[in-house]
Structure 1
Amino acid sequence: MSVDDDHKTESQRFTLSSEEKEQRLRAVKARLTVDGPPPGVAGRSASGGWLLPALFWTALLGLGALAAGYWFSASRGDTAFSVLAGESLELRLGRGGHYEVPGQVGAEPVRFMVDTGASLTAIPPGLGARLGIRECSAIGFDLSRSNEPGCCRRETFHTANGRTEGCVARVPSIRFGGFEVRNAMVAVMPGIGEQALLGMNVLRQFSLVQQGNRLTITPAASH
């Protein structure tokens, strides 16, 4: 064998076929590629990434609201509506055709006119001012304690004389005869003079029996 033949055989030993070159190139590329998540996994992770923080803040806000409600309730005391029933009360029809009874709203003396057509007990603005009733702020909580009147929320009332603007507030107590109603709502209403109206939010807690010109008020069966 000649030297040229030997050189040719040696060079063929280091020459790769096109197929072998392609296989080796694919192997190199595979080693250089960084494995990533399967298709679709990245999308799911991105879309679900906000869910846990959202649930956390929702739970935190809910717990905060519960804590605030408990703190407000504890700081205000017991402001639940309740009735302390006494002995029966008998009223005589007055000259104006109405039943009237002396009583108190908070510590302020007042003369009530029994008004079964009024859904709320109503007091004049002057009495509301003496009681310390103030208008509620547009935004905020009523932090009034149980032994003081709550703030007054604006409301429009429809009366026999038309529409009138007033407000509604909680008062610590309403007394008449031997009865006491605690934490009842009252309307602070202009245009009713100096007399208060004893409305059905209080009267429905009692039994009313009219015979002739007499009205007997007794504790309801549940009281």
Structure 2
Amino acid sequence: MLVIAWISGIGLLTLAFDDQLSEQFNPNRSPESATSQGISEVRLQQNRGGHYVTSGQVNHQPVVFMLDTGATQVSVPQHLAQRLNLRAGVMYPVQTANGIIQVAQTTIDQLSIGDIQLFNVAASINPSDQSDDILLGMSALKRLEFTQKGEWLILRNL
């Protein structure tokens, strides 16, 4: 009985700490959002690593975005692209931090973060990326106004 109690206790602690670690990686699971006079605004809190990570949707399916102003386009890992039913187009080379890779062009019909919605967003499908996050690059961010204040990033649709 004592062994079962210890195993149960360790399991409960693991679940509690896993949820806390997940919250530290993505403090914007439900991003603060408001719309006034046709302008939508989303406030994102910086995560512990100094990045802006948020939950959102691609084609009405839940995803996690990591904002990356250094990325030319939205970059979707191939395994997520399959789940999101994104069609792979022409392959082309891109320079990444890990060297040159071949990606496929695609278009995201609808991308949303809170009240902000973008349509027909140019993106690439990255077969080398094994993460579960989509890099939200400039093909989406250039359609938004963004301002950083302290540990917060404020996004507004244009």
User: Does the residue aligned with 1:87 lie in a helix, a strand or coil?
Assistant: strand
Q: Which residue of 2 aligns with 1:197?
A: 135
Q: Which residue of 1 aligns with 2:84?
A: 131
Q: Which is helix-richer, 1 or 2?
A: 1
Q: Which residue of 2 aligns with 1:206?
A: 144
* Equivalent runs, 1:37-76 vs 2, <5 Å: none
What amino acid sits opposite 2:132 in the alignment? Answer: E
Q: Which is strand-richer, 1 or 2?
A: 2
The 8 Å contact of residues 110 and 118 in structure 2, kept in 1 or not, is answered as: yes
Overall identity of the aligned pairs, in %: 31
**Higher relative contact order, structure no. (Cα contacts within 8 Å, ≥ 6 residues apart):** 2
Q: Among residues 105, 109, 112, which one is paired with 1:175 in the alignment?
A: 112
Residues of 1 paired with 2:39 and 2:105: CA distance? 27
Say if 2:43 is the partner of 1:106: no
The 8 Å contact of residues 116 and 156 in structure 2, kept in 1 or not, is answered as: no
Residues of 1 paired with 2:108 and 2:145: CA distance? 23
What amino acid sits opposite 1:181 in the alignment? Answer: L
**1:26-68 residue CA offsets vs partner (Å, 9 max, x unmatched):** xxxxxxxxxxxxxxxxxxxxxxxxxxxxxxxxxxxxxxxxxxx
The 8 Å contact of residues 102 and 110 in structure 1, kept in 2 or not, is answered as: yes
**1:168-215 residue CA offsets vs partner (Å, 9 max, x unmatched):** 111211111211111111110133311001111111111111111111
What amino acid sits opposite 1:204 in the alignment? Answer: K
What amino acid sits opposite 1:178 in the alignment? Answer: D
RMSD: 1.5
Say if 2:69 is the partner of 1:116: yes
What amino acid sits opposite 1:101 in the alignment? Answer: T
Structure 1 moving runs of 4+ over 2 Å: 131-135
Based on CA coordinates, which of the two structures has the bigger radius of gyration? Answer: 1
> Normalising to structure 2: TM-score of the pair?
0.70
**Corresponding residue pairs, total:** 120
**Structure 1: stretches of 5+ with no match in the other structure:** 1-84, 136-151
Residues of 2 paired with 1:92 and 1:170: CA distance? 28
